[in-house]
């Protein structure tokens, strides 16, 4: 009997943990730096803790316009403690601001860490952490858009995530659980996206020394099953290439609506083997994703990821330039505006068709123009073969699948 899949987004977790009790608004918590914070209304639950609106302590109650959220959970629970280690090492405001300045970025989608500590009440101890308040998550946006994002948006999200991943990788961590529900828009600016939930974040290179590749059967399939990396499926600790592999799966899903192994997520061995077959036979993966025999572009992109070794540093700038070139080919630019609009082509077609043909068309177009020219066959653009391939592909699109 195959092992049971882990619940989406929860990853590795002991079977029994205490749930946090709800505190009344106005409860004051004091962090390790002796700064006092006041709790507002609870706005959500994460794992085994509660999330409250929060602000610096004052005579005023915490309003709905609060700038911070405060995560609280029983002190002997593990998730917040694990996440806290990442925030304390890599998300202090000065670190993020220095990176933004040195890399000439407008923003970096890592929530800032403002404080943490322990709080006692009625003989019980609680751990808390204060971070930036954020808005809605991308999973809700994805569903509102009919479970497909426009090409421009997919490219922009890819660019933002490359910025984020380069930063956290440079600070010795990998995220290991990238997905739409862990991406949130800024509360004050809906054009800024943040990567959240570092409960599975792993310090892959403590003090600059990369961890060795080692498979542990007890850690097999950690993460969110449909997106988790092959390394994680095998029980190896995540590394930088793992994050990029997860990002690739996310982008394919955002563009096409689903991944080919989503029909059997309760069978992690099937999902693992499907991803391994995808890596071994990328053309077959293309057929399953896009229902087309013409699939050169994504193959080139997957080969680029496949070439990375466990300890290799990813070519962030090269990957970034690929996405930027993709924006140009669809006559768009990274204007900083996140436009969450349904794909128009899917609206007027019958339901049975609209989930296949329009998504197929945009996927083929995106792959041809974005991925293959920069990395699979750079000489195409100068010799005309790429343009010929595009003409043939677009003619096939007009005829429809299988014609």
Give the residue numbers of the binding site for ATP: 71
The reply to whether 132 belongs to the active site is no
d(CA 52, CA 323): 37
The residues near 191 (Cβ < 8 Å, ≥ 6 apart) are 185, 336, 337, 338
Give the residue numbers of the binding site: 71
Question: What does the block give as tokens for 114?
Answer: 């403002």
> Is-contact 55 68, C-beta < 8 A?
yes
Q: Which helix (H) or strand (E) holds 253?
A: helix 240-256
d(CA 346, CA 96): 40
Question: What does the block give as tokens for 331?
Answer: 């006559």
**Which of 31, 55, 163, 177 is the catalytic position?**
177
Report the candidate in 242, 222, 231, 101 with the shortest Cα–Cα distance to residue 169.
242
Report the candidate in 333, 314, 313 with the shortest Cα–Cα distance to residue 323.
333
In angstroms, how far apart are the furthest CA atoms of the chain? 75
Active site residues: 177
């Amino acid at each position: 009997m195959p092992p049971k899949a882990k619940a989406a987004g929860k990853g590795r977790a002991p079977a029994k943990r205490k749930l946090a009790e709800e505190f009344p608004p106005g409860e004051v918590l004091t962090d390790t730096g002796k700064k006092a914070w006041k709790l507002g209304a609870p706005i959500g639950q994460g794992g085994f803790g509660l999330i409250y609106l929060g602000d610096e302590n004052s005579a005023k109650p915490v309003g709905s316009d609060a700038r911070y959220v405060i995560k609280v959970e029983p002190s002997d629970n593990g998730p917040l403690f694990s996440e806290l280690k990442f925030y304390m090492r890599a998300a202090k405001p000065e670190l993020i601001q220095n990176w933004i300045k040195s890399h000439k970025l407008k923003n970096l989608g890592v929530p800032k860490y403002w404080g943490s500590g322990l709080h006692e009440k009625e003989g019980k101890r609680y751990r808390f952490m204060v971070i930036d308040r954020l808005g809605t998550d991308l999973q809700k946006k994805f569903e509102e858009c009919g479970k497909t994002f426009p090409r421009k948006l997919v490219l922009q999200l890819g660019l933002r995530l490359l910025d984020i991943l380069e930063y956290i990788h440079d600070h010795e961590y990998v995220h290991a659980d990238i997905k739409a529900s862990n991406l949130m828009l800024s509360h004050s600016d809906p054009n800024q996206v943040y990567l959240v939930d570092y409960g599975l974040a792993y310090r892959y290179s403590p003090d600059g020394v990369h961890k060795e590749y080692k498979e542990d059967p007890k850690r097999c399939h950690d993460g969110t099953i449909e997106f988790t990396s092959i390394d994680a499926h095998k029980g190896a600790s995540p590394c930088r290439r793992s994050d990029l592999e997860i990002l690739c799966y996310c982008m394919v899903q955002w563009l096409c609506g689903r991944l080919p192994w989503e029909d059997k997520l309760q069978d992690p061995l099937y999902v693992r083997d499907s991803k391994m077959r995808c890596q071994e036979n990328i053309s077959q993966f293309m057929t399953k994703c896009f229902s087309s025999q013409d699939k050169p572009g994504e193959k080139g992109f997957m080969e680029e990821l496949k070439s990375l070794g466990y300890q290799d540093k990813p070519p962030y700038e090269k990957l970034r330039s690929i996405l930027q070139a993709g924006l140009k080919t669809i006559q768009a630019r990274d204007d900083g505006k996140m436009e969450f609009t349904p794909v128009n082509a899917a609206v007027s077609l019958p339901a049975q068709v609209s989930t296949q043909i329009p998504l197929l068309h945009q996927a083929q177009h995106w792959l041809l123009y974005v991925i293959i020219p920069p990395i699979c066959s750079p000489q195409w653009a100068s010799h005309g073969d790429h343009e010929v391939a595009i003409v043939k592909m677009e003619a096939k699109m007009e005829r429809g699948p299988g014609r």
